[in-house]
Copies of this chain bind each other. A is one copy, B any other.
Amino acid sequence: MTQPAVQPLRSAVTRTDVARYAGVSAAVVSYVVNSGPRNVAPATAARVLEAIRVLGYRPNAAARALKLGSSETFGLILPENSNPLFAQLAHSVEEAADRLGFALMMANSDGSLSKERRHLRNFLSRQVTAVLLASVASEPDLSDVISADIPVVLLNQGQAAPGFAAVGVDLRQGAQEAVKHLIWHGHRNIGLVIGTNGTQKADGRELGWLDALATEGLRAGPIARAPFTREGGYAAGKRLIAGNERPTAVFASSDSQAAGLLRALHEGGIRIPEDIAIASFDGSPESEYTWPGLTTVAQPLAAMAAAAVEAVTGGGHNDNPTLRIFPTELIVRRSCGCG
């Protein structure tokens, strides 16, 4: 620490320093750093590169962002990054963004719409190139975004909000497949643990559950509504086993709920899958490590993240906003009675 006490926080060495050191103009440094838009003689370029190395020059991203009107940063808003599914999604998004040289700003809405909007606004003022939003609401209010004319893509939505790109899976179809599998195991009384999406419209997973039941002429089993969390699933499980027509199988709308459900059943001395079979939704990593392992409808998060990033970088935004629906895959483990 031989430096004077108060040091400007910005990196001391600027493009001008590099230019001087290399004996060229500032523009040439730009050309070299950005590999364009003009090209420079190899020898000159080499001198510049050397200067950059020696001086330890790093371009100032803030200046670049100001000039370009874009920070080459994505803003990711999640309900809750520590939820295993969203954590996985965040990881995939970070990877996809990184591959394109974008940084990722992350914020949690914690299930609050107002927090979501606050973060949205914050991101906009920070000149993020695009916003990736896993909204709390199924039809988020995006007026702020619209006025800023910034690309947005909705993550993990069964359907698009009008005028916006979205990626998601077919919740209904995936759920239906899982429930059909439970029926195939011989179950007639199949309950549902379903998350609350803050909307009047039924969740696709609830619809898929109903579809499967209807197809087989079964009547709906008991429903427990609770948050998409382990805690929610635990509470739902307690209610389900206290009810007077205990189901022999349960479909849970998230792996986290299923983990909570599992705990409730274990505590009640109920055997899985012998007494109650379980299937759930998400295909998060934890589903492989519960006991027993969860039969679950897996979402292809990495592909979805890549598509989201592509939707938002790949040229004309909002011109023809697309809804990309990805196929789910039923992963069969022991909780349903297989194996």
Contacts and interface: CB of A to CB of B under 8 A. Distances in A.
Interface of A: 1, 3, 5, 7-11, 56, 58-63, 65-66, 69-71, 73, 80-82, 84, 87-88, 90-91, 94-95, 98, 103-108, 121-127, 129, 147-150, 163, 230, 234, 259-260, 262-263, 266, 285-286, 288-293, 316, 318-319
B105 A61 contact: no
Contact of A107 (B87, B98, B149, B150): B98
Interface-centre pick from A73, A81, A234, A319 (highest chain B CB count, 10 A): A81
Given A82-B88, A266-B292, 7 more contacts: A1-B318, A60-B66, A62-B126, A65-B65, A82-B91, A230-B285, A263-B289
A66 B58 CA distance: 14
A107 B108 contact: no
Nearest to A56: B147
A285 B60 CA distance: 39
A126 B103 CA distance: 9
Contact of A9 (B80, B149, B285): B149
Contacts of A10: 69-70, 127
Given A7-B149, A81-B87, A88-B82, A66 B73 contact: no
A47 B150 CA distance: 28
14 contacts: A3-B149, A10-B69, A58-B125, A66-B66, A82-B88, A94-B107, A105-B105, A259-B286, A259-B289, A262-B291, A263-B291, A266-B291, A286-B286, A290-B291
Interface-centre pick from A9, A63, A91, A149 (highest chain B CB count, 10 A): A9
B82 A8 contact: no
Given A73-B105, A82-B84, A9 B150 contact: yes
Nearest to A263: B289
A56 B124 CA distance: 12
A104 B105 contact: yes
Contacts of A125: 11, 58-61
Nearest to A10: B69
A11 B149 CA distance: 8
Contacts of A59: 125
